């Protein structure tokens, strides 16, 4: 159920993005369209995938960070790993590939808050999926 929330478009639109185009295979598209306060589209590809274990994909940032992070190709990527634990399933999300300097720190901070907010939404989404 958790893995599907990261690779199935109809699941992704329930907690993360307004629109999603994902083909769950290496080299397949991983495109997410966001609305709200900072609308943007991240167009990437699946870098790694192991069913029910992990998925990694390229990331394109919103306009404020596009010149830094997106050109000529996405410079950062997201890696999600699921691992059993005594409490259930641990979800680890790593957004990697950051450069150094003040502009990169600003971009990293924005993305930290972005992922923190959306992972909270994932938890709520999964609870509603499981329990109604």
Residue 97 belongs to domain spanning:
2-131
Q: How far apart are CA 37 and CA 115, in angstroms?
A: 15
Q: Which helix (H) or strand (E) holds 92?
A: strand 88-96
How far CA 33 is from CA of 54, 66, 68, in Å, comes to 22, 15, 19
Residues in the chain with pLDDT < 50? Answer: none
- Report pLDDT for 102: 98
Task: Give me the number of domains the chain comprises.
Answer: 1
Assess contact for 4 and 11: CB atoms under 8 A: yes
Ramachandran class of 27: left when φ > 0, alpha when ψ lies in -120 to 50, beta otherwise: left
Alpha helix segments (H runs only) across the chain: 2-7, 9-15, 63-69, 102-131
Segment 15-46, tens digit of pLDDT: 999 999 999 999 999 999 999 899 999 999 99
Bond into 72 cis (ω within 30): yes
CATH code at position 63: 3.30.530.20
| Residue 24 tokens, joined | 């769950």
pTM for the complete prediction?
Answer: 0.94
């Amino acid at each position: 159920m958790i893995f599907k929330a990261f690779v199935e478009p109809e699941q992704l639109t329930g907690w993360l993005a307004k629109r999603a185009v994902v083909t769950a295979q290496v080299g397949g598209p991983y495109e997410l369209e966001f609305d709200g306060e900072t609308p943007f589209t991240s167009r990437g590809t699946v870098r790694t995938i192991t069913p029910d274990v992990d998925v990694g994909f390229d990331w394109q940032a919103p306009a404020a960070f596009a010149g830094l992070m997106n050109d000529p190709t996405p410079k950062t990527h997201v890696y999600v790993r699921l691992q059993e634990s005594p409490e259930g399933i641990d979800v680890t999300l790593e957004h990697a590939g950051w450069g150094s300097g003040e502009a990169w720190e600003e971009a990293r901070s924005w993305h930290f808050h972005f992922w923190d907010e959306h992972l909270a939404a994932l938890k709520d989404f999964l609870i509603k999926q499981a329990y109604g």
